[in-house]
Structure 1
Amino acid sequence: MSKKILITDDALFMRVTLKNILVANGYEVVGEATNGQEAVDKYDAHQPDLVLMDITMPIMDGITATRTIKGKHPAANVVMCTAMGQKNMVIEAIQAGAKDFIVKPFQPERVLESIKKLIG
């Protein structure tokens, strides 16, 4: 059975880019969220094996969403997606429970390395 992944990013281009990488490598994208609140709701609904979470989004940012998801689901695997120069936010995200981070623009090898490390 393929591993289920939830993609969270307010930019459609980033969601499409990630989805293409994941599907081409045998992962199932069970949902896409455009903000942190949607990510929390879709996590509850789909219980994915992993969430790719943007940091900066409207309504609820990725760090708050990660804290919320980890509060309800302590075993959740969250990988933060960050732009260059957001080092302080990455540290805060790790403290919130994120297990790894990947940097935009996405390098397919790095995205897959992070995912494989966490869920195989």
Structure 2
Amino acid sequence: MSKKVLIVDDAVFMRMKLKDILEKNGYVVVDEAQNGLEAIEKYKATQPDIVTMDITMPEMDGLDALKEIKAFDSNAKILMCSAMGQQAMVMDAIRSGALDFIVKPFDADRVIKALDKVTF
């Protein structure tokens, strides 16, 4: 059975790139969100198997959205996406319940390895 993914990133290009990588590798993108507030709503609506969550976004950042989703569903599987140089934020995300992180720009092999590790 295909794993359902919710992609959260404020950049349309990044969402498209990630969606392309995931769909080519057997994942199903159930929805996309462009900020943390949308991510929480869409997580509750779609109940994905995994979430890819950007850290820096308008309205609500990825760290706050991560904490809200984990409060709603302690079993939520969330991978953070970050640009280079955000190590402190990534560590904070891991302490808050994120399972791993993917560095931007996305490397297809690294993305799939990270998702496969937490979903299978």
Same fold, TM exceeding 0.5? yes
Show structure 2 runs of 5+ residues with no match.
Answer: none
What is the CA deviation profile of residues 11-51 of structure 1, one whole-angstrom value per residue up to 9, with x for unaligned ones? Answer: 00000000000000111000000000000000000000000
SS in structure 2 of the partner of residue 81 of structure 1: strand
Query: For residue 29 of structure 1, what is the aligned residue in structure 2?
Result: 29
- Aligned-partner Cα distance in 2 for 1:3–1:86: 28
Show structure 1 runs of 5+ residues with no match.
Answer: none
Q: Which amino acid aligns with 1:46?
A: T
Query: For residue 7 of structure 2, what is the aligned residue in structure 1?
Result: 7
Q: Percent identity?
A: 57
- Aligned-partner Cα distance in 2 for 1:28–1:58: 26
Query: For residue 55 of structure 1, what is the aligned residue in structure 2?
Result: 55
- Aligned-partner Cα distance in 2 for 1:102–1:3: 18
TM-score, length of structure 1 as denominator length? 0.99
Alpha carbon RMSD of aligned pairs, Å? Answer: 0.5
Query: For residue 90 of structure 1, what is the aligned residue in structure 2?
Result: 90
For 1:59-78, list aligned pairs within 5 A.
59-78=59-78
Superposition misfits of 4+ residues, deviation over 2 angstroms: none
